[in-house]
Chain A
Amino acid sequence: MRDDDLGLARLRVRAAWLFLAPTLAVLAVVAGWPLLRTIWFSFTDAELIDLENYRFIGFANYLEYYEGEWLGLLADPAWWRAVWRTVWFALVSVSIEAVLGMVVALALNARFPLRGLVRAAILIPWAIPTIVSARMWAWMLNDQFGVINHALLGLGILSEPVAWMADPDLAMWAVVIVDVWKTTPFVALLILAALQMLPADCYEAARVDGIHPVRVFFRVTLPLIRPALIVALIFRALDSLRVFDLIYVLTANAAGTQSMSVYARQQLVDFQDVGYGSAASTLLFLVIALLTLSVVLLGRLRLGGESTR
């Protein structure tokens, strides 16, 4: 009997690897190999027009001292502006999404008529393609005919129309608004799922003791849903560090609003400089990989005691 069990276990492990092989092969082809090639290209002077003839040039795309001047990505102020802009965007938009997502989740956690309808309604911004959202908001923010300027003028908040996309700082705030509009539903629904798993009895106890709801929120609710909140915000932060579509279409690829991804694509495709663009892509990949890795390691240390899975 024992031998049979062992044989079965071995058979299943062998079958498992067989079942995994196609997926792993596809992932190696579409993810592993292109990533390695991108990293390799970042050490070359390859051009998009002819990817077969290139030279290995070491770290010159990253940093190079040439005739008394520092050259390369790490000495390029435009790259660093793109980096700080992306980090600013990630911090600001994710913070706003956390607060608004919490408000929406708490509201939807209450019982009221038509709750299903409201929950469905907030999913709509999330489902709309990013390109379409960018276009819809670009039209609403249009300086001459946009409904937002029109409303703000009508309410007397503005005295003259604002050209939202002309000023890079304003344009970045517009990007934040659209991102918040699009992704708050995701954050809210994840928080809502966590809220609905909370035990009802501690709220009952708090109510009987007459503790103020705000106090209950900070003392009971927030600590209990913190794991889910952190996971949602990490996903969002990693997402916003990669931001491309929204900025590219909303601000029409303007130099003053480039994110890291937009900068890398411009070097790669528009300027055909595969070496330099790949260097930028590689740095972005490293930033995100380090962040993911630290999150996973921290998560493991923290969750290690609670779960064996």
Chain B
Amino acid sequence: MNGRALLARGGFALLLLAIGAFALFPFYHAVVTSFRSGTELFSPALWPETLDLSNYVQVFTQLNFGRTILNSVLVAAAVVGLSLLLAVTASYALGRVRFRGRGALMLTILGVSMFPQVAVLSGMFELIRALGLYDTLPGLMLANLVLTLPFTVWVLTTFMRELPKELEEAAYADGASPLTVIRRVFLPLLWPAMAPTALLAFIVSWNEFLFAFTFTLSAETRTVPVAIALLSGGSRQELPWGLVMAASVIVTIPVVLLVLAFQRKIVSGLTAGAVKG
């Protein structure tokens, strides 16, 4: 290997190192901070000197974070379940059947996913209050459907379109009804696409802030992002940073683990949703 090639290799390794460091350092720094408290926080540290878990204990005992996490999980699970349930039949119709107005419908659904959240905020507020769902978890489930349903339908439709035509023809020839065809033929084939779609929808709901911040009031209905945004110390100047970071690490680790486990599938889900659209 000559000098230039060696230099190029070194440069490439440095570039990868820089990318990795830029991507990971903030989270790493949050983990380090979460183990420190009091005056320790006044001097920045690169390594954790002690494994002080008091911040983590405090997050659950003082802040009732268990309830908050449960709220977020309940909302996200309901939103994902409903979105998938609705999207399976809708994506069959949009992906496998030719009918007039299909293109316009697809564009409308894509358009809804472009909605700025504030554009539906006052109308949604009125709706949720009229239904008696203000400051309840079902209210948030309803609101979050705006964010997850269009994209779930879109991703499953692009997947549905790729499946070979012969599949259903044989079933129809045997006299099966469309609903049977979906259940018996397509549902088993859809599972690989459903897992990443469900995960992406889960992340969207888990991270949602504006609706949860506007449509809930009490500590009992708070979701994770709202609880973290509202965490404050005695005054605005002195936030309990160790505590904030501990809470942040707790809510991030499950998502990060899920993302790492489904890494490849997420990438294909994202590209199906974006590139083919």
| Interface residue A87 (Cβ < 8 Å from any Cβ of B) | no
| Nearest-neighbor residue (CB-CB) of B177 within chain A | A15
| Interface residue B37 (Cβ < 8 Å from any Cβ of A) | no
| Interface residue A137 (Cβ < 8 Å from any Cβ of B) | yes
Say which one of B56-64, B187-195, B253-261 lies at the interface with A: B253-261
| Nearest-neighbor residue (CB-CB) of B130 within chain A | A51
Q: Is the CB of A249 within 8 A of B229?
A: yes
Tell me, in angstroms, the Cα distance from A291 to B126 when the chains sit together. Answer: 28
Can you spell out 9 A-B residue pairs with CB atoms less than 8 angstroms apart?
A11-B178, A33-B123, A107-B16, A121-B20, A124-B27, A136-B27, A146-B44, A261-B117, A281-B116
Tell me, in angstroms, the Cα distance from A282 to B256 when the chains sit together. Answer: 36
With A23-B87, A136-B27, A245-B209 as contacts: A41 and B252 at CB distance below 8 Å: no
Q: Is the CB of B122 within 8 A of A278?
A: yes
Interface of B is mostly: helix
| Interface residue B155 (Cβ < 8 Å from any Cβ of A) | no
Could you give, for residues 134-167 of chain B, a 1 whenever the CB lies within 8 Å of some chain A CB and a 0 otherwise? Answer: 0000000011011001100100000001000000
B12-45 with Cβ < 8 A to chain A: 12, 15-16, 19-20, 22-24, 26-27, 29-30, 33, 41-44
Interface of A is mostly: helix
Q: Is the CB of A30 within 8 A of B86?
A: no
Count of A interface residues, CB-CB < 8 Å: 99
Q: Is the CB of A38 within 8 A of B115?
A: no
Q: Is the CB of B275 within 8 A of A228?
A: yes
Chain A residues in 8 Å Cβ range of B248: 132, 135-136
B189-235 with Cβ < 8 A to chain A: 203, 206-207, 209-210, 214, 224-225, 228-229
| Interface residue B111 (Cβ < 8 Å from any Cβ of A) | yes
Q: Is the CB of B15 within 8 A of A147?
A: no
Q: Is the CB of A34 within 8 A of B127?
A: yes
Chain A residues in 8 Å Cβ range of B12: 107, 110, 112
Report the minimal beta-carbon distance from A89 to chain B, rounded to whole angstroms: 14
Q: Is the CB of B259 within 8 A of A23?
A: no
Tell me, in angstroms, the Cα distance from A284 to B20 when the chains sit together. Answer: 36
Report the minimal beta-carbon distance from A234 to chain B, rounded to whole angstroms: 9
Q: Is the CB of A127 within 8 A of B89?
A: no
Report the minimal beta-carbon distance from B165 to chain A, rounded to whole angstroms: 13
Q: Is the CB of B145 within 8 A of A124?
A: no
| Interface residue B120 (Cβ < 8 Å from any Cβ of A) | yes
Q: Is the CB of A30 within 8 A of B124?
A: yes
Q: Is the CB of A12 within 8 A of B209?
A: no
Q: Is the CB of B27 within 8 A of A16?
A: no
Tell me, in angstroms, the Cα distance from A110 to B267 when the chains sit together. Answer: 17
Q: Is the CB of A292 within 8 A of B118?
A: no
